[in-house]
Amino acid sequence: MGGPILNLLFFGDVVGKGGRRAVASITPQLRQKYNCQFVVANAENSACGAGLTQSSLKEMPGVDVFTAGDHVWDRKEFEQEINGIKNVIRPANLSKKQPGKGWDYFRNPVGGDVAVISLMGKVFMKDSAYCPFETVEEILKEIPITVKCIIVDFHAEATSEKLAMAHFLDGKVTAVFGTHTHVQTADARVSANGTAAITDVGMVGGNNSILGRSCEDVLRKFRIGMPCKLAVVEEDIRCDAVVLSYEMNTGKAVSLTPLSIMFDPDKEI
């Protein structure tokens, strides 16, 4: 039997201070509203819009595990910090000589363990990353058989590569969540084999922005091609996330519900 149904909350890319504040405030409310026992967030843009730091993660105390992506080393101090943070995962298909870990499993307080794997795509991404498909194959061999819930954050640009990963891992993991493009896609689904997937969860960042950055700055860069700082939009925050329901005893996904909520610090959701 599948046993109890548990719920997991996953946030898309958290952008800047505004994103951190929104996650800190809204997480307890979403935990209660959707009866979520475990929370994961992609935090690779949480520090000033590019990279992450120990201090940026501490501002989101309701999150159980943080994942990363191609901006993981944008903040130089994080190279020294990451090994001292037990609940942060960097892309597993980067060089093994880099600090940090690419996957781990964590205790769900209500029962069972949750394995979280961070992967980065190669199409239109950094050439230095190893094949994510071969990497995840090896990781799955290492996960204890007692760990039933397996979550994959696939941080990738190409829709085709994300869909390919979801099909590759169908029936082998609980969920494959795409991140990186900051735009929530309309393809959330659960396969007949019990694997949930969405091409991109979206972001926690400025709604009136271009992927969390100032529209004026981004337009200037596109129009004239000159280097310029892309200011992070810290207000009018939209929170994109998904709620995953799965069987505790089998790890099979039951449902996947996308969320896109405008954050208002003065109102409850």
71 catalytic residue (yes or no):
yes
Return the pLDDT at 1.
Answer: 62
Question: Looking at the domain assignment, is residue 210 inside a domain?
Answer: yes
- Asked whether residue 122 is domain-assigned, the answer is yes
Residue 268 lies in a domain: no
Please report whether residue 267 resides in a domain.
no
Containing structural domain, residue 239: 5-262
We report the CATH number of the domain holding residue 105 as 3.60.21.10
pLDDT of residue 136: 98
| 117 is a domain residue | yes
Q: Which of 71, 155, 180, 182 is catalytic?
A: 71
Total residues found in the chain within this entry: 269
The whole-number pLDDT of residue 146 equals: 96
Task: Describe the strand order of the beta sheet including 103-107 as a list of residue ranges.
Answer: 103-107, 113-120, 149-155, 175-179, 196-198, 189-190
> Into how many domains does the chain fold?
1
The parts of the chain modelled with pLDDT lower than 50 are none
Cα 104 to Cα 66, 75, 97, 129, 151, distances in angstroms: 11, 23, 17, 19, 10
| Beta-bridge partners for 87 | none
Tell me, what's the pLDDT at 269?
82
| pLDDT (0 to 100) of residue 201 | 98
In a domain, 269, yes or no: no
